[in-house]
């Protein structure tokens, strides 16, 4: 594909001049202003400065070394040393012909596939999944899909919270206050009720708190009854979690809870002490980061004064297990931004404990979901919104809209459209913005048929599909070339070519919003093409070429949406 060949030729030209240069950052990107060209690189400027060269002179030398006349017009130097590339129509046409034949879809799989472990979702046992879990779940799954699309091996691990002090209180509640019928109706709601009940009682009565601690010790010591209740809590919780994941079409390769690592925790602390990394402070084992500027005043506890481990200890054991089991080149943690300090400590600590681990440790954090009042998104009564209820409401709202616009569709079809559109709207609203930013949850915005929304993109896909429904059984001819003599055809074709570069940007920065923006722009280009370039009414080779452009656009839209975790539908 042209852009990858162009990038490789650019990198080889740089190496001819600077044989020791790091060319990993010598990349081409779509030109932000089409009037200046199709692709651009600014990488030569920084490279020249680091090597004490004049950037424009260096850019001129690089141009002299690049052989791209077969698919590019003369390369232009702009500003302090930008290179602008403009593709020839013949080269663009040849790439489209190959895509129409199914040889590629403008991306390529990795030449050197990596192994990536992605940790996302991570609900707590005995608590319903709530709106706060949606961002980690959707973002993590979209990243996994993108890495896999590019040929990498991905291991997804749902690190569930199935151990800790809360189980002492849950055990007291289970033994003394359990409502069996309520448990059958909604296990997580009943367990949440038990925890709140006993937690409140503990604040009022020291003897109940003592009972909870006693039950926790019995659980930790392997008491048969407590272990059996604990396992039932896990099974009931996971059953309801799986119902949510099934609705969201989200999957995991592994679901290893915190309890999986219990037997390793003491060994982790012992090793940290033996290596002089952890030291005693007020009865606890603590790691100080005296040589780490950002963490100098933020020590990490790895063993509490009562001998108990904590999240940091468990996460160290988890990371060690992942390194030994899957030998990843990267481990990605997808959590909200409030955990930034924890992961800074974890990564710095692991670097000291396992200095030769060679893994890229990456905390992909995100902002909060806000209500329209600018506060954390909750019910009117101030309670956290359960994720199942949110998904129900999305489908119900979408069903009302579908029924209003297409009342003649069969009821079952309206429900299926509402499911795909409603759940897709929630996912897309979450993925389409900068993940570091908070976003305001607004039903009207996310379900709108205009703007950068899932309904708009799904509708664009159905417009493509409607063209081929009208064709019926007519066989499609294979174009021998693409003339691209209409501006809208040319703009659509050039945008199609950029798909692979966008996917690489997504995995490089773990930002699915790049793909969302690309698909939104693609839908816009297709809309302009559809309005200005007759397809079915065209004749001869023009009709063949335009039908092929429609087919490729539909394939790319579907691939892009599915990579984001969205399903597609034939009509809306």
DSSP 515-560: HHHHHHHHHHHHHHHHHHS-STT--HHHHHHHHHHHHHHHHHHHHH
Q: d(Cα 118, Cα 331) in Å, to the nearest integer? A: 6
Listed in order, the ranges of the chain carrying CATH 3.30.1360.70 are 2-87
| CATH 1.10.730.10 domain range(s) in the chain | 454-563
Query: 410 pairs with which residues across the strands?
Result: none
Question: pLDDT category, 59, cuts 50, 70, 90?
Answer: very high
Residues 190-231 have pLDDT tens digits of 999 999 999 999 988 999 999 998 998 899 888 999 999 999
Q: What was the pLDDT predicted at 378? A: 79
Euclidean distance between CA atoms 250 and 324, whole angstroms: 26
**CA pair distance 15, 442, nearest whole angstrom:** 51
Q: What is the mean pLDDT of residues 26-37?
A: 88
Integer Rg of the chain from CA: 28
Domain 454-563: top CATH class: mainly alpha
Whether 376 has a pLDDT exceeding 90, the answer reads no
Say if CB 173 and CB 233 are below 8 A apart: no
Residue carrying the six token digits 């692979």 = 500
Lowest pLDDT segment from 57-71, 328-342, 516-530: 57-71
Confidence band of 132 (pLDDT split at 50, 70, 90):
confident
pLDDT digits (tens, 9 = 90+) for 377-403: 877 666 788 999 999 999 999 999 999
Architecture in CATH for domain 2-87: 2-Layer Sandwich (3.30)
Residues 348 and 339: their CA atoms lie apart, in Å, by: 14
Q: DSSP of 316-353, one letter per residue?
A: HHHHHHHHHHH--SEEEEEEEGGGHHHHHHHHHHHHHH
Q: State yes or no: pLDDT of 1 exceeds 80.
A: no
The distance in angstroms from the start CA to the end CA of the chain is: 34
DSSP E strands in 121-257: the ranges are 153-157
Q: Which of 4-13, 202-211, 471-480, 518-527 has the lowest mean pLDDT?
A: 471-480
Between CA 269 and CA 277 the distance in angstroms is 9
Report d(CA 6, CA 85) in Å as an integer: 9
Helices (H), 339-472: 340-353, 387-405, 411-431, 443-446, 454-471
Backbone angles phi, psi at 452, to 5 degrees: -80, 75
User: Pick from 374, 368, 372: which is nearest to 436 by CA?
Assistant: 368
> What does the pLDDT look like over 75-114, one tens digit per residue?
999 989 899 999 999 999 999 999 999 999 999 999 899 9
Share of the chain above pLDDT 70, in %: 99
Q: pLDDT (tens digit, 9 = 90+) per residue, 151-186?
A: 999 999 999 999 988 999 999 999 999 999 999 999
């Amino acid at each position: 594909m042209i852009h990858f060949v162009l990038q490789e030729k650019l990198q080889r030209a740089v190496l001819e001049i600077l044989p020791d240069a790091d060319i990993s950052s010598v990349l081409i990107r779509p030109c932000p202003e089409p009037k200046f060209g199709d692709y651009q690189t600014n990488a030569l400027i920084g490279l020249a400065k680091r090597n004490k060269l004049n950037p424009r002179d260096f850019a001129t030398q690089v141009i002299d070394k690049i052989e791209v006349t077969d698919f590019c017009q003369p390369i232009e130097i702009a500003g302090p040393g930008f290179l602008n590339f403009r593709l020839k129509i013949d080269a663009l046409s040849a790439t489209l012909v190959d895509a129409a034949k199914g040889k590629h879809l403008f991306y390529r799989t990795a030449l050197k596939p990596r192994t990536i472990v992605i940790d996302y979702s991570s609900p707590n046992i005995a608590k319903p999944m709530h709106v706060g879990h949606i961002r980690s779940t959707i973002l993590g799954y979209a990243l996994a899909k993108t890495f896999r699309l590019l040929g990498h091996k991905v291991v997804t691990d749902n690190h569930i919270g199935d151990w800790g002090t809360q189980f002492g209180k849950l055990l007291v509640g289970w033994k003394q206050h359990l409502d069996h019928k309520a448990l059958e109706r909604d296990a997580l709601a009943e367990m949440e009720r038990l925890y709140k009940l006993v937690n409140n009682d503990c604040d009022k009565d020291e003897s109940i708190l003592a009972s909870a601690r006693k039950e926790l010790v019995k659980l930790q010591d392997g008491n048969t009854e407590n272990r059996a209740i604990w396992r039932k809590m896990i099974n009931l919780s996971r059953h309801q979690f799986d119902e949510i994941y099934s609705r969201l079409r989200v999957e995991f390769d592994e679901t290893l809870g915190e309890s999986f690592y219990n037997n390793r925790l003491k060994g982790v602390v012992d090793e940290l002490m033996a290596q002089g990394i952890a030291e005693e402070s007020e009865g606890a084992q603590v790691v100080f980061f005296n040589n780490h500027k950002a963490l100098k005043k933020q020590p990490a506890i790895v063993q509490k004064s009562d001998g108990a481990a904590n999240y940091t200890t468990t996460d160290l054991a988890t990371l060690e297990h992942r390194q030994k089991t899957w030998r990843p080149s990267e481990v990605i943690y997808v959590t909200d931004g409030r955990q930034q300090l924890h992961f800074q400590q974890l990564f710095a600590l692991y670097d000291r404990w396992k200095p030769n681990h060679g893994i890229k440790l990456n905390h992909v954090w995100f902002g909060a979901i806000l209500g329209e009042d600018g506060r954390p998104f909750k019910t009117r009564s101030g309670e956290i919104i359960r994720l199942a209820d949110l998904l129900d409401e999305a489908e119900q709202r979408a069903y009302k809209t579908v029924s209003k616009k297409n009342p003649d569709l069969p009821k079952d079809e309206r429900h299926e459209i509402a499911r795909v559109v409603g759940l897709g709207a929630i996912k897309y609203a979450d993925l389409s913005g900068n993940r570091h930013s908070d976003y305001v949850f607004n039903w009207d915005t996310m379900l709108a048929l205009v703007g950068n929304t899932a309904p708009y993109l799904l509708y664009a896909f159905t417009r493509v599909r409607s063209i081929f429904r009208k064709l019926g059984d007519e066989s499609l001819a294979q174009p021998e070339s693409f003339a691209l003599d209409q501006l809208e055809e040319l703009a659509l074709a050039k945008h199609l070519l950029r798909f692979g570069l966008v996917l690489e940007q997504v995995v490089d920065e773990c930002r699915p919003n790049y793909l969302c923006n690309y698909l939104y722009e693609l839908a816009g280009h297709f809309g302009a093409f559809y309005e200005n370039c007759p397809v079915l009414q065209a004749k001869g080779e023009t009709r063949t070429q335009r039908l092929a452009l429609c087919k490729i656009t539909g394939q790319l839209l579907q691939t892009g949406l599915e990579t984001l975790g969205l399903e597609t539908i034939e009509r809306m």
